Amino acid sequence: MGLNSSISNLSYFILGAYLNIGNVRYLYFMITALLYIFILFVNSSLVLVICMKRSLHEPMYMFLCSLFVNELYGSTGLFPLLLIQILSDVHTVSAPFCFLQIFCVYTYGSVEFLNLVIMSYDRYLAICYPLQYNVRMTPQLVAVLIIVVWLYSFVKFLVTLSLNLRLPLCGNTINSLYCQNYLVVKLACFDTELNNIYGLVGIVLTVLVPLFFIIFSYVRILKLCFFGSTQTRQKALSTCAPHLASLLNFTFGCCFEILQSRFDMTKVPSVLRIILSLYFLIMQPLLNPLMYGLQMLQIRRIYEHLFCCKKLTVQR
């Protein structure tokens, strides 16, 4: 592509992080496809269980349902293109599809983090104000919080894409396994100050402010645990452990992605670079349903009931 070519007339991008792996690609394809199928199955089944069982129509499970729907959304934004590229000899992606993937991946990340934020607030109310919980966390508030999380993320990244589309580019090679916003902006031929300012404001609103609420919630929970009864500590541990594990896993994954895209990683083994770049897009959808599904007693019981019913049907 020539210099000063704008995004509007750019027809494709080249994904430059794929390796020449020969016939091993078929093994990688099978592993990736199995991961995708497993993620689709476990997240979809949990969404169906929560939606179908009225006993699970509580705030905590509604937030979990939103989380699992987001895992399906984010995985579908990554895996189909990844599977195609693994089998392909020419690692190109059309410009419209590239920007669609950027939108999916980044809205997934925003919804994931903000969903974890409102879940921490929900746990704070449940543990610190158990008698007032149902009065404060009403079904209407749950619906509003979930809608705001999704709507804010979609609007925010629609603005991001509109700012990107005005940029003339000096190349079309992205050194990544999938389309990333930061790497596309780096291809711009002129100053990207407006994009940087908007990105900084977005970080403050999407990361720093919500992070304050997470810290506030867990400081109050820990304070109650230190001075509360053994039963209170056990309740806090059982309800907060999966959330904290998910939050830490997501944070580590985002840090890995930032390291991969912002810094020179040429000295790092290529396989490790690939793992770092895909970690937060694969491990969250993979581990979240397992952690919450195994930890939440009501979900476990419903799964066991369904499994037993199927087993009895087969025996008959």
Looking at residue 43, which CATH number applies to its domain? 1.20.1070.10
Which of 37-41, 81-85, 187-191 shows the lowest per-residue confidence on average (mean pLDDT)? 187-191
Residue 288 has φ and ψ, to the nearest 5°, of -55, -50
Per-residue confidence (pLDDT) for residue 312, from 0 to 100:
42
Per-residue confidence (pLDDT) for residue 116, from 0 to 100:
93
Which letter does DSSP use for residue 54 in this model? G
Between 241 and 123, where is the model more confident? 123
Interval 197-232: pLDDT, tens: 888 888 888 888 888 888 888 888 888 777 767 776
How large is the average pLDDT for residues 237-248?
82
269's CB contacts (< 8 A; 6+ apart) are none
CA dist., res. 202 & res. 196, Å (int): 10
- Say whether pLDDT at 151 is over 60: yes
Indicate the average pLDDT of the chain: 83
Number of domains in the chain: 1
- Say whether pLDDT at 174 is over 70: yes
- Its domain, for residue 193, covers 5-315
Helix (H) or strand (E) holding 174: strand 173-174
CA 153 to centroid of chain Cα atoms: 12
CA-to-CA dists, residue 300 to 109, 296, 306, angstroms? 27, 6, 10
Which of 1-15, 71-85, 86-100, 150-164 shows the lowest per-residue confidence on average (mean pLDDT)? 1-15
Contact 98, 13 (CB under 8 A): yes
Instruction: Specify the 3-state DSSP secondary structure of 14.
Output: strand
Can you name the residues that pair with 6 across neighbouring β-strands?
Answer: 168
How large is the average pLDDT for residues 80-103?
90
CA-to-CA dists, residue 309 to 42, 55, 298, angstroms? 19, 19, 17
**First-to-last C-alpha distance (Å) of the chain:** 66
Structure confidence at residue 315 as a pLDDT band (50, 70, 90): very low
pTM: 0.86
Structure confidence at residue 289 as a pLDDT band (50, 70, 90): confident
Between 24 and 106, where is the model more confident? 106
Structure confidence at residue 164 as a pLDDT band (50, 70, 90): confident
Q: How many CB atoms lie within 10 A of CB 138?
A: 11
- Say whether pLDDT at 19 is over 90: no
How large is the average pLDDT for residues 128-136?
88
- Say whether pLDDT at 80 is over 50: yes
CA dist., res. 172 & res. 15, Å (int): 9
Per-residue confidence (pLDDT) for residue 158, from 0 to 100:
92
- Say whether pLDDT at 166 is over 50: yes
